Amino acid sequence: MKYLSHLNYINVVARTGSIRKAAEQLNITSTALNRRVIGLEEELGVQIFERLPQGVRLNVAGELLIQHIRQSMADMSKVLSQISDLSGVRRGHVQIAGGSEAIGAFLPSRIALYRQEHTGVSFEILRRAPDAALKALANFEADLALIFGSVPGTEFQTLASVQLDLALAMHPDHPLAKQAEIRMIQCQDFPFIMPAEGSGLQRLIQVAQQKHGIKFSTAITSESHEFTAHYLKYENAISFQLPLGGSNQSPDSHYLVQRPIAKRDKMSGLLHLVQLKGRVLSVAAAKFADQLLQHFNTTYPDSTH
């Protein structure tokens, strides 16, 4: 275990790009952490970090080493999870990467439900655009990823795909909130909050604008689902959301509502639950993936495959 804790020091330094920031996270002094890094480099007989004015960066040798470190940590996490299951107490740590449109509205309720039965399992949520989320899987930084819109490559295994029709989110007092469904052309009359560049949601919206020959009046671009949800309280703006609540209520329904887009203008995309192909997940991560699959099959029985 001490060996793995030393490897984790290198992992944190690589992730933060700074000895000082890594030391703060690890709750040790910068001097002590730097000694450990130098000690490992001396043991290896090669430097693994480039020293920069504003921090450090992995060199080629470091990139090779970090892959080994992250895979070793993932393998140990899997074994510890299996051992704890033998005692009837599930423990472990689950890392999930995904876009704000999925993790912000969807994961809190699913994780809370899981932890009601398994309080020994901790979670780490990594907000990533689709390409970055897949990279996190490949680098063993994440166990699972929620990818909206893009189809994962051959090195990844898709556990489930759910087809979702986008909905419009707005304040309950918004002029369009009184309508049962909304035409895309009506959206041009209101300020629009556009998802971040590179997100699956933004790509789908851009295609829809071209298809229907319209252009939204983008007032704000944000990668934060939480910011968008809160901002809609203060202006008659609109945004698109995934209907992950399973109803026409927004996941933030105490101050937002969702309204469907008219069928002739419908925008649909796929939400994928993905893992790295060939990787055996820890018991904790595998059981959480099973819970998500059950939720998709129950909530979207005709749209899940």
Please identify, in words, the CATH class of the domain defined by 167-266: alpha beta
Average pLDDT over residues 136-140: 89
Confidence of residue 6 (pLDDT cuts 50, 70, 90): confident
Asked if residue 250 has pLDDT above 50, the reply is: no
Instruction: Identify the band that residue 81 occupies on the pLDDT scale cut at 50, 70 and 90.
Output: low
Tell me the pLDDT tens digit for each residue of 29-48.
988 888 888 888 888 889 99
Region 2-63: CATH code: 1.10.10.10
Q: List phi, psi (to 5°) of 232.
A: -65, -10
Query: Helix H segments across 50-190?
Result: 60-86, 100-103, 107-117, 130-138
pLDDT in tens, 185-214: 999 889 999 988 878 888 888 888 888 888
Same fold? 2-63, 90-163+270-299: no
Residue 249 has a pLDDT of 46
Classify domain 90-163+270-299 at the CATH topology level: D-Maltodextrin-Binding Protein; domain 2 (3.40.190)
The per-residue pLDDT for range 264-289, each reduced to its tens digit, is 888 888 899 999 998 888 888 999 99
- In the chain, domain spans: 2-63, 90-163+270-299, 167-266
Return the pLDDT at 268: 87
Q: What is the DSSP secondary-structure string of 115-153?
A: HHH-TTEEEEEEE--HHHHHHHHHTTS-SEEEEESSPP-
Q: Which of 114, 87, 73, 78 is nearest to 283 (CA)?
A: 78
Look at residue 200 in the predicted model and tell me its pLDDT.
Answer: 82
**Mean pLDDT across the chain, nearest whole number?**
85
User: What is the model's pTM?
Assistant: 0.71
Please state, in angstroms and rounded to a whole number, the distance separating the CA atoms of residues 170 and 78.
Answer: 43
Residue 9: predicted pLDDT: 86
Neighbour-count burial of 157, counting CB atoms closer than 10 A to its CB (0-12 exposed, 13-18 middle, 19+ buried) = middle
